[in-house]
Structure formats: structure tokens, C-alpha cells
Structure 1
Amino acid sequence: MRTISMTAAGAALVVAAVAGCGSNAQPIQVNLAASEVLTQAAQKTAEVTSYTVDAVVNLTHPQQGSGKVQGRMLYQSKPQLAADLTLDTVDMGQRSVPGGVRAVLQGDTVYVKVEALKELLGATKPWIKVPLKDADGGSGEVNEVLTQVQQFDLGNMTKLITASQDVKAAGNETVNGEDTTHYSGTFPVEAAVQQLPADKQEQARDGLAELKDIKFDMWVAADGLPRKIALNGSKDGATLDATLFFKGFNEPVSIQAPPADQVGELPKNTTN
């Protein structure tokens, strides 16, 4: 099934780590132009080593119908790349995933827990282990589920937004108890994709191909980091409406692989 991806992904199932060490963020200068704030936000997110994000993504497609993905993710880049994604709602057109989805990334391996996959793939354990190097050759169902992990990445999302040529400040607002400045604008898909590393551009372009200019709103706190990002786009009956809340920058997170006795390998006889 083809879905609209709101962020650039790359060849792996999870976006590459946001590199860097702990941030000693300084308050942003109030006289910065809006475009400079976007650039600074992208730079500062590259220094973030961990965060938590809550997201709601609503999609519509002229042939496939409407869909919704809702969940949260813990992310860390040090001491090794890791992410823990829980999707409470995964509905795509006439299809849904009963019981939701759980995915844990540890280094170069992703562990996936989806009850429906046990029947589809013949798995015998609650969790399926998928090496990232085998991801592109894995089952369509596994790839479709894990693609959602890519949609929660902060670093690449802020890079996309820096392609905006019309961003402007839209006032001061409080987000989850924190004072922020609201910025609003649009970015053209092709120009935004070119802000990403070369190895991530092709998949990003494919994922965003059904949209044209994407409207965004970003709420930035005094440390220069986004606390909320909203994206909206449409083209020929396809629409995207996504809202993400970020918190816990550089705070310790605990991301553990599932117990070994609950993990099985991806069945070898799966096909796309």
C-alpha cells in the first residue's frame, strides 16, 4: 500500500541519528529574521541527542481513502542509535492494524511487534527481528509498518522546513506550558528534499511526490528548538495533516530491546 510520508526517510527504516553532543542552548535573539530562526533551529536539532515526540498524522488519498496514524516515540543518538515507537492507531484506507504497532530500534536492528503480522508472515514469537540491511528486501507489511518510524524524526523535518521562502512570525503562544514564537510558511517539496543528505533524497521525493507546496507551522522556544510542528499539504485529492509535539531534549531515555525468548527471525519465505 502506498502512503504519503511527511518526512524524508532514507534507505533505512529509521532516519539516521541526529549527530552531536549535549546542547548548551542559548536563548534565540529576538531580532533574528524568521528565515534565520529556521536555519538556527535546524542547526540546534543537529546537537540534540535525545527527545520524545507525540504525533497525529491524518491522510487522505483519492483512491485509497483516508487514514490516521497516532503515537509517540523515544529517540536517542548516543551511546548508540535507538528509538522506541508505539503507534496506538494505524488506519490506512480500509485497512487497520488491530492492537497498534510497537517498534524498537537498537543499533542496526529493528524489532517489530504487530499481532497481525504473526498470521501474515507465519511468525511464532511476539516480536520479529529485522536487520536494517535486510529491510528493503523484507515483506511489504513489515516495510509499511516500519515506515511510520520515519515520520517522527525531528532533524530531517526541520531541514525540510528551511527550504521555505515565505516564513514569517505569527505571534507568541504557549505550548505545553512553555513560551514559544509561532512561525508559519510553506515549502516546495523539491527544494525541501534537496536540503537532505543525498542518500535520503530519493525516498523523500517518492514519499512527498503526491503533494505540492506544503504549509507548515512551527513553534520555537527560547532555546531555539521546536516544541510543536504542524504540516499540511494537498494535491489532486491527496491530503496530509500532521501535528507533532517535541519535548525532553537531551534528557536520559531508556530504550531496551525485547527479551530474547520473545523474538523470532523474519520468515525467509516472505515476499513483497
Structure 2
Amino acid sequence: MRRLAPALALGGAALVAVAGCGAQGTSSLGNVKLAAAEAVQQSVQKAEAVTSYSGDVVLEATGGDKGASKIQGSLLYQSKPQLATDIRLDTITYGGQNVPGGARAILSGDTVYVKSELLNKFAGANKPWIKVSLADVDAKGQAGIKGFMDQVQQFDLASTVKLLTVSKDVKAVGTETVGGVDTTHYSGTFPVAEAAQAIDPAKSEQLQQDLSRVKNVKFDFWSDAQNLPRKVTLSGSEQGNTFNLTAFFKGFNEPVEIAAPPADQVGDLPKNHVGN
């Protein structure tokens, strides 16, 4: 399922200065006109300062010998008073086959709660939810949990926008309304190789693996008057392999409710699965 998320494997990307990269166009939204590249940079800075948000994501991929794949879901995020996320993947289709029940993951502090019929069957769990500490996920090689968490952690507001900063051809193409909010629409491309060099080395290899069959990614990006990202689309095509991602973001710095599942619905990962 890791191949399903080429456009979402953006965690840990570093902010890249793009002044003087030849980007074209300006934003006329609000009182200050910004060069397109500068507007994208400012959007990254704004996104990094956001302490909570919600979003909706759809990712579709085709090509290869696995057939069509799709992930559709939503997320809640907060960084204060402690880091917490609630990811719901309502639709997971891989190779033309639906994953029954979808999946959900709640990260609260240093504990991960995962609900997945497929994962529970694989792990032999007897409760709807599996509880695992982040330390165990990282240190004990929990392949199933780790793989799912990699998917979960790829849903990220600031990191998604950060990759756009390596673009050398970003330009403003107009103004549109997204979710009832006035936005400026930007468009451009970025080369995968440069994007991989721009991010945390620990994430670079995974990004290159996820995008191994795509050289360049086309993007469209909509930001509001405060330079907050409201919508991002990413797409790529190479030798018959294609992917298309659409992400909507909203509820910036508004209260979100992220709670652990009821205790009687939660079980630990079976001991016979530890270390597998």
C-alpha cells in the first residue's frame, strides 16, 4: 500500500528559498501583491504556524501490474496542548480490490490507536482497536503498524506546501472561490530529484521510492488572503503510471476534538506479533 501515496510522502521537508528562481506571476489577493514564489514561501510559513486544522484528501493511482488504486479520507490535526491526529481512510482500494472497513488511526501523545479489519486479522487482535506506543513502532520493527503509520503521517499541511517551493516555474493563474473562501490560484511543476534533495535525508529515500516512476510533478495550489493553503492538487504521469492527489484544508486554528477510543474497545498488539 506504500505505492498508493507518492504525493503524500512529504513529511519532514525543509523550507527552500526560491527567490530569484525565475518564477512568474503575482498574487493580487489582499492589499499586497506578491511574486508567486514568494507567495508560496509565505504560505509555508503560515502553515507551519497553524496549531490545528482539518482536511479532506483523495489520492488515485493507475498503471503497473497492480491496477487502479484509491485512498479517500479526512483528518484532524492539533499540535497543542499535545500533538494529536485523527485520520479516517474511508476508502482504500488497492489493485482494484477494496480493503474492507477502510482504516482509522488516532495519534495521541506517544500512543497510536489503529482500527483496521485487515490489520486486526493479520495481527490476530480480539478488539476493534490496537494500541501501540510510538517507541514500539519504531524500535521493534512492527511491519504492519509501521506501514500504516507511514501512510497516516504523510497527511501533512505544511510539508505538502513545502515541496512546491522547489518549483522554478510557479505562477499565479487567477482567482477562485474554494469552500466559500476567495483564493489566488497558482500552478507549476517541481522535479522529483530536487524535491528529494530538499527534504530531511531520513525521508528522502522514501520519497524517491514513492515517486520512482515520475520525474516531474505538476501542481495547482490555492491560498487565501492570509496566504493559508486551502487546496492543493498534485499529479504525475510517466510510462503509463499516473497519480492524482487533491487535498482540501480548513478550520485553521479552530478547536478540534481528538480523543482516544473507549478503553473496552482497545487491545494491545498480540505478543506473538511483536517484532514481526
Normalised by the size of structure 2, how large is the TM-score? 0.86
Q: Which residue of 1 aligns with 2:123?
A: 121
Per-residue CA deviation, residues 99-148 of structure 1 (Å, 9 max, x unaligned), is 11111001122110012222221101110112223325455443343333
Cα distance, 1:222 vs structure 2: 0.2
Cα distance, 1:96 vs structure 2: 2.4
Q: Which residue of 2 aligns with 1:170?
A: 173
Cα distance, 1:236 vs structure 2: 2.3
Tell me, in whole angstroms, the C-alpha distance in 2 between the residues paired with 1:189 and 1:77.
29
Q: Is 2:80 aligned against 1:78? A: yes
Cα distance, 1:267 vs structure 2: 2.3
Q: Is 2:166 aligned against 1:156? A: no
241-250 or 185-194, which deviates more: 185-194
**AA matched with 2:117:** E
SS at match of 2:272: coil
Cα 1:130–1:9 change in 2 (3 A) is: farther
Write out aligned runs for 1:43-54 (5 A): 43-54=45-56
Pairing partner for 2:68 from 46, 52, 66: 66
SS at match of 2:198: coil
Tell me, in whole angstroms, the C-alpha distance in 2 between the residues paired with 1:267 and 1:74.
28
Cα distance, 1:65 vs structure 2: 1.3
SS at match of 1:125: coil
SS at match of 2:45: helix
| Preserved contact between residue 136 and residue 142 of structure 2 (Cα < 8 Å) | no
Q: Which residue of 1 aligns with 2:21?
A: none
Q: Which residue of 1 aligns with 2:250?
A: 247
Normalised by the size of structure 1, how large is the TM-score? 0.87
Unpaired runs of 5+ in structure 2?
Answer: 14-28
Cα 1:9–1:185 change in 2 (3 A) is: closer
SS at match of 1:146: helix
Per-residue CA deviation, residues 86-108 of structure 1 (Å, 9 max, x unaligned), is 11101111432211111100112
Q: Is 2:268 aligned against 1:268? A: no
| Preserved contact between residue 62 and residue 236 of structure 1 (Cα < 8 Å) | no
Q: Which residue of 1 aligns with 2:135?
A: 133
SS at match of 1:65: coil
Cα distance, 1:9 vs structure 2: 5.0
Unpaired runs of 5+ in structure 1?
Answer: 17-26
262-271 or 175-184, which deviates more: 262-271
Cα 1:9–1:128 change in 2 (3 A) is: farther
**AA matched with 2:8:** T
- What's the C-alpha RMSD, in Å, of the aligned pairs? 2.1
Q: Is 2:108 aligned against 1:103? A: no
Aligned length: 258
SS at match of 1:261: helix
Tell me, in whole angstroms, the C-alpha distance in 1 between the residues paired with 2:99 and 2:191.
32
Q: Which residue of 1 aligns with 2:37?
A: 35
Cα distance, 1:220 vs structure 2: 0.6
